[in-house]
Amino acid sequence: MILGRSEARCPDIGSRAEAVRATFFFPTLSVPVMLARRVGKGETPVLYAVLCYDREDVVGAWSQEQDDAVMVRLGAVQEKLAAEGRIGPVARLLPTTAATTIRKGERPVIMDGPFAETREQLLGFYIIDADDLDGALAIARDLAAASGSPGAFELRPLRMFHDWGTLREQASA
Amino acid sequence: MTDPSWIDAALVAARPRAVGALLRYFRDLDLAEEAFQDACLKALQTWPDKGPPRDPAAWLIFVGRNVGVDGVRRRGKQTELPDEAALSDLDDTETPLAERLDNADYRDDVLRLLFTCCHPDLPATQQIALALRIVCGVPVPRIARAFLIGEKAMEQRITRAKARIATAGLPFQTPGPVERIERLGAVMAMIYLVFNEGYTAPGVGDDRAGLSGEAIRLGRLLLRLFPTEPEVMALVALMLLQQSRAAARFGTGGELILLDDQDRSLWDRGAIAEGLALIDKAVRHARPGSYQLQAAIAALHARAPHAAATDWAGIERLYTALEALQPSPVIRLNRAVAVMKARGPQEALTMIEPLAEALDGFFYFHGLKGALLKQMGRSAEARTAFSQAVALANTPAEAAHIRSEIDSLSDTAAAVRPSTITNRRSS
């Protein structure tokens, strides 16, 4: 987008912005391969979900060029980690305005978006395959019923999906 | 050390809230804008070394207020500042200001700012220019290029718009619930105008096409202020779903490519995912509205893996509901397209014939009529309709598209059985 931005005086994005995107690494199907490799070396695997937070309105004000530049640099880091077998799937989340929250309880309550004042932190992440919101909510209801703890599930649509674990397996094959 | 790109983005993002609050304080659009510009200059001087403030908008409002007041004093109080005591909502002081700067508090400021730009006294072109300048912060030369007019002319247009608003008076009292919903409706219409200004642009990537992106940003801003309003969700969904096709809508020569013929692999999947998520959310509220119906129609197109898989019967039902909600010949015309796809050209032609008078000056009417007649093998009549469409085309791309339709009409087409042509068209 050319319009609506002040002229970008510097094409580079600083360290501040690098911590930005809701880009995170989380174990899924490719993780057993990752684990086997580390255990085989006598190492103890320690997995982390890296959750990145920043101001959504500021990130949303980036020009396409700025956005692309950040993605390219994040991609380089991810590729390095993937070569070391240290990265699982990477997902970028759509804006919080596209989110839906289901609050658990005897009768789960469904709400629009995450709310700034929610006290719970993001603790886990599922990728589910549902046709639409109703399907996703049905799965979330089942999860809520099975979890037996207080809290909430946030249903957030994904924008991108890279399975670096699979890429690494292909590369080493 | 704070990165300049981050500061740029932070200033753009803070602009609606900051200018909105400064407008409430100064009650004058020019003063509010100047104060914001001055605060931005100060930010560019101090943020790189000292680091950005915790809340950039609060910082800009506080600094903007101080420099604005200084400016007014220097000019010998040409503009009388409102008596602080008379302004019920002016209890801002630095610390509490930063504390209460959340959407709930500043929602009315931003809504007022947006509503100011779509003042009913302003013609649509002035509304769009004003919103781009004041809310989005687009520099005047770029707005001028988008509208294909000179910088001076655009400057004058914006000045005239501001003068008209100043004369009409701004609504500064906190709106009641009913008034707030009315303002919301006017603001949504203005945002969609900005979007269409960009969407009808003959190409991607130029200044005018960039207006669609600005409109989507305005829509997201509005949605953050009203996160539970299904019509706002749907407006953003509608814009995203339409915008998702931007790269597929024009050929290499700038010619228009219709939905049926578009390369769907060029559609922006991220925009589609967000649009579909938003329309799903909106529908859950069970409070239908025109943006929801329009977005639902766009969603049916977006969900179809290829043109032949489009749920035309579903689209026809949605257009029927839309027409019931807001009867209009243009909506009926759109419904006729769905009828043509679902049940053939004869029924669609019968449907649009009574619209001839109302839509005589409308490009799409003659274009559709020509296409229907062509499908039915009535070449001569099709040619007449297409000729009228060319004369009414809004863009060179539209005219070129209709001319190619005329070129494909052959005298032999009339000899072919209508059913054959219909089948070929709908395959």
Please tell me the predicted confidence (pLDDT) of residue B7: 85
Per the CB < 8 A criterion, the answer to whether B208 and B197 are in contact is yes
Name the least confident of A129-133, B56-60, B322-326.
Answer: A129-133
> Does residue A11 sit within a domain?
no
Cβ-Cβ contacts under 8 Å, A58 against chain B: 6, 9-10, 13, 56
Radius of gyration of chain A (CA): 19
Interface A–B counts its CB contacts (< 8 A) at 131
Residue at B267 is within a domain: yes
Is A79 domain-assigned? yes
Could you tell me how many residues make up chain A? 173
Q: What is the pLDDT of residue B394?
A: 82
Q: Is residue A8 part of a domain?
A: no
B95/B240 Cα distance (integer angstroms) = 38
Which residue did the predictor score with more confidence, B221 or A130?
B221
Whole-prediction pTM: 0.77
**A13 SS3 class:** coil
- What confidence tens digit (pLDDT) does each residue in B106-161 have? 788 888 899 888 888 888 888 889 999 999 888 899 888 888 889 999 999 999 99
Q: Confirm whether B273 is domain-assigned.
A: yes
Q: Is the pLDDT of residue B100 over 70?
A: no
- CA separation, residue A104 to residues A134, A155, B285, B379 (Å): 16, 13, 19, 64
Rounded mean pLDDT of A103-113? 86
Average pLDDT, chain B: 85
Q: What is the pLDDT of residues B185-196, one digit of tens each?
A: 989 999 998 998
CB nearest to A13's CB, from B3, B12, B220: B3
* Domains identified in chain A, total number: 2
The span from the CA of B64 to the CA of B39, in Å, is 5
Same-domain status, A99 and A25:
no
What is the distance between the alpha carbons of residues B14 and B278, in angstroms, rounded to a whole number? Answer: 24
**Can you give the pLDDT at residue B423?**
40
A14 occurs within a structural domain: no
Could A3 and B8 be called an inter-chain contact, meaning their C-beta atoms sit closer than 8 Å?
A: no
Q: Is the separation of the CB atoms in B47 and B4 below 8 Å?
A: no
Residues A58 and A61: their CA atoms lie apart, in Å, by 5
Both A45 and A122 in one domain: the answer is: no
In a domain, B372, yes or no: no
Please give the residue range of the domain that contains residue A68: 19-93+158-173
Same domain, A114 and A38: no
Note whether A30 and A83 are same-domain residues: yes
> Residue B294 falls within a domain, yes or no?
yes
Whether B104 maps to a domain, the answer reads no
DSSP string, B36-97: HHHHHHHHHHHHHHH---SSHHHHHHHHHHHHHHHHHHHTTSSSPPPPGGG-TT----HHHH
User: Is A169 found in the same domain as A147?
Assistant: no
B54 within some domain: no
pLDDT beyond 50 at B338 = yes
How many distinct helices (H) and strands (E) make up chain A?
Answer: 6, 6
CB contact under 8 A, B273 and A158: yes
Whether A111 and A31 map to the same domain: the answer is: no
CA B316, distance to chain mean position in Å, is 24
B387-410 pLDDT, tens digit each: 999 999 888 888 998 999 999 886
Give, in order, the Cα–Cα distances in Å from B280 to each of A56, B37, B203.
22, 40, 30
Q: Are residues A101 and A163 in the same domain?
A: no
Domain count, chain B: 1
* A6 domain residue, yes or no: no
Q: Is the pLDDT of residue B278 over 60?
A: yes
Would you say residue A9 has pLDDT above 50?
no
Interface of B with A in 224-283 (CB under 8 A): 224, 227-228, 233, 236, 270, 273-274, 276-278, 280-281
Residues 6+ apart with CB under 8 A from A145: none
In angstroms, the CA A4 to CA B60 distance is 19
**Partner residue opposite B138 with nearest CB, options A4, A17, A97:** A4
Please report whether residue A168 resides in a domain: yes
Q: Is residue B303 part of a domain?
A: yes
Total residue length of chain B: 427
Residue A12 lies in a domain: no
Q: B380-384: which pairs have CB atoms within 8 A and are 24 or more residues apart? A: B380/B414, B382/B409, B383/B409
CB atoms within 10 A of CB A146: 7
Chain-chain contact of A116 with B102 (C-beta, under 8 angstroms): yes
Structure token digits, residue B164: 């008209």
Question: Is A150 in the same domain as A123?
Answer: yes
Residues in chain A whose Cβ is within 8 Å of chain B? 1-17, 55, 57-62, 66, 94-95, 97-98, 100, 110, 112-113, 116, 132-134, 157-160
Give B-chain residues touching A113 at CB under 8 angstroms.
227-228
Which tokens is B68 given? 């604005």
Once rounded to an integer, what is the mean pLDDT over residues A58-87?
A: 71
Q: Provide the pLDDT for residue B72.
A: 74
A-chain residues near B137 (CB < 8 A): 4, 6
Give residue A81's pLDDT. 61
Reported as a pLDDT band with limits 50, 70 and 90, residue A23 is: very low
CA B199 vs CA B209, B247, B304: distances in Å: 6, 11, 21
Within-domain flag for B245: yes
- B286 contacts chain A (CB < 8 A): no
Is the same domain home to A27 and A81? yes
- Does residue A168 register a pLDDT over 90? no
Using a 10 angstrom Cβ sphere, with 0-12 exposed, 13-18 middle and 19 or more buried, the burial of residue A122 is middle
Same-domain pairing of A38 and A72: yes
Q: Are residues A80 and A136 in the same domain?
A: no
Nearest to B5 among A13, A110, A157 (CB): A13
Residues A126 and A166 in one domain: no
The Cα–Cα gap between A13 and B86 comes to: 45
Q: Does residue B216 belong to the interface with chain A, where contact is any CB pair within 8 Å?
A: no
Percent of chain A with pLDDT over 90: 0
Q: What is the pLDDT of residues B158-184, one digit of tens each?
A: 999 988 888 877 777 777 888 888 889
A4, part of any domain: no
Cβ separation B10–A61 shorter than 8 A: yes
Residue B297, domain extent: 228-310
pLDDT confidence of residue A52: 59
